[in-house]
Structure 1
């Protein structure tokens, strides 16, 4: 069964948790009012093991506050020693007291002269206590400021590192995309160059073929003589027995109109075109 936080009753994380030394209850660092930076970098193992929750801190009796700056500290009772048995007297305020009377007083018993300094001593102790308190407050504020500054610097550094990592990923992604596009363009250019080379070969081949055809046409060209310009040879034309030339001419005209789509009406086909029938 998973352990839960004693404060928010949520499941505790694996690392960011702390246990009270007195009640043995476990809290997450949010409920313990501890920042993650302070928990991981500032607190030692001994501090984590001696940590007390707020509930247990409230149950601990407070120390006496009798020696405050306003109240004078209680002096301890004098012990029975040789020095404490000495009687202390104040200096007389009578200005008419001469030296002889002072000497007479000094020989009365084992007495010593002491000025009244109780009030200045109390005041001095109070001032020293206030100064110490002020120094402690300044020291605590300085430590707190240093901790806050360190935490802010750490947070800023983390955000800067995240931004740099993201920028680096974007640059790498765009660089890879441009590299792939460049590779694709190079492949397309290579394909186009191959096509151009192939077309050049085919073009040269066609030029050679055209040149060969022109040579063949020149070699087979026949010059027409004057006697062969109007000669037509017709094979397979049927001839009728004793058919007059007039009827034969009309049959030739009809045949040319039907087969060749040529109208020879008005021409003497046999005589003018030098028609030969076979």
Structure 2
């Protein structure tokens, strides 16, 4: 089974470049604007789009992404509406891979089997569930793979060689390497250290390795993309979105463009990477 994620990485490998992966929270600052932003991302240069599922207790996220989740929840965003948003995106774009990222609790409440069937039907390609360790693969990971969705796992600087095989055992799509210890948006990634970590992970898997956390500028994205198969940016995009809102936290005429423009600049950084490495 080839998913859109597999197809996209195969295509990028042919072009000899890394993927630019964007993250935004579903429903931030409101469902309509959120869909408009996500629709604008592929044209701006996003190769893969991660969509956050808003949750009341996002313990791995820093203040920016937590605030985005709260804005989305306040605007009435739910998991059901997140899947509706995916369907809305798929009306015009059947190629760009979409990954839902978040926590297990909303999925558990929704019902695992129903969620997987609805997510697949809506056009979701993969899941990143940050609070489900490999020991709990039977909960969601194995059923997700059976349903034809990639289950993408996080590896961190503290994931040692003994732990890696367990983390990679049922992973598909790509491996998401968290470049810093700590919460999202809290520090900058060191490209040399990241390069060594990516090489280490690649000794254990043939899957593409994408690196996220701590990438805020085109130069940082370029540096990461030289050693990794993809660079993931979330906090910087969420911050650009927030900066475009009015005093009441509502979308303005600048909101969609503010995010799309930053995506375009970061995408240039990622696209410049491989040429620099050759």
Report if TM-score (shorter chain) is over 0.5: no
Query: How does the TM-score come out when normalised to structure 1?
Result: 0.17
Query: How does the TM-score come out when normalised to structure 2?
Result: 0.17
More strand by share: 2
Larger RCO (CA under 8 A, 6+ residues apart): 2
More helix by share: 1
